[in-house]
Amino acid sequence: MKFTKSPAVELKVRDTQLSIQQDNASMHVGTSVWPCSLVVVKFAERWTSPVTGDNPYADLLDFRNKRGIELGTGCGVAGMGLYLLGLNDVVLTDIAPVMPALKHNLKRNKPVLGRMLKMAQLYWTNVDQINALNPPFDFVIATDVVYIEETVGPLLDAMQALVGQNGVVLLGYQLRSPEADRLFWEMCPTVFNVEKVPHEHLHCEYAYEEADVYVLRKKL
């Protein structure tokens, strides 16, 4: 897997090169690029590019005329990547201290994106901010967001409020905190049906052994 801690991360999405500026000296984890964001983008690219033979994700990853929102977007990698793959209406959200880094990276990549994607400040406990985003969304994207036990409940509440009944949550996941991990997987199946993407279905160059991709669907 191509992953770097250097200040700039280059990610090719089909024929387009994203260039993401990191600030690894920042106090905020959202100003660094984490592996799961790359894993999710390249998984989606693998199954939305011309596929030889059966495509088990043809329906899941049909981005045409779909709305998406990314939670804890950080530098914006996953949201920008899925936009380039056809998700036509994307909102990138994070907390206030991370927004300058996100705005910088959107401006940095505007020449290849073609426009500035939408940004919104979002604290998962803030119902007014959630409602202002005009849910439901077809796709909720979240990568490397489970690392503090106290935020697990608000995260799941936000996911549930934002995703449509027929929508999906694309979750890039890596164990960061045993306590948060345990609580998340206790609570998540109470509101979502959980499907783990087999590792062999990830992009061969971006199949980081500790990173997984899950598809979450609302329970009826």
E-only strand ranges, the chain = 8-13, 16-21, 67-71, 89-94, 118-121, 137-143, 163-173, 192-196, 212-218
167-192 per-position pLDDT tens digit: 999 999 999 999 999 999 999 999 99
Q: Which residue reads 């977007």 in tokens? A: 73
**What does the pLDDT read at residue 65?**
94
**What does the pLDDT read at residue 2?**
47
Per-residue pLDDT band at 30 (split at 50, 70, 90): low
Report how many helices (DSSP H) and strands (DSSP E) the chain contains, helices first: 6, 9
Average pLDDT of the chain to the nearest whole number: 92
**Sign of the alpha-carbon dihedral angle for 126, 128, 132, 133:** positive
Q: Is 135 helix (H, G, I), strand (E, B) or coil?
A: coil
Between helices 35-48 and 77-84, what is the axis angle to 10°? Answer: 10
Per-residue pLDDT band at 1 (split at 50, 70, 90): very low
Percent of the chain predicted with pLDDT > 90: 79
Q: Which domains does the chain have, with CATH numbers?
A: 8-218 (3.40.50.150)
42-101 per-position pLDDT tens digit: 999 999 988 888 999 999 999 999 999 999 999 899 999 999 999 989 999 999 999 988
Measured in degrees and rounded to the nearest 5, phi and psi for residue 165 equal -60, -30
Per-residue pLDDT band at 200 (split at 50, 70, 90): very high
CA distances from 214 to 59, 156, 174, 176, 211 (A): 15, 14, 11, 16, 10
Instruction: Classify the phi-psi angles of 137: left when phi > 0, otherwise alpha if psi is within -120 to 50, otherwise beta.
Output: beta
**What does the pLDDT read at residue 208?**
85
CB 42 within 8 A of CB 208: no
Say how far apart CA 19 and CA 108 lie, in whole Å: 7
pTM of the model: 0.93
Say how far apart CA 27 and CA 23 lie, in whole Å: 9
**What does the pLDDT read at residue 5?**
58
Say how far apart CA 177 and CA 182 lie, in whole Å: 8
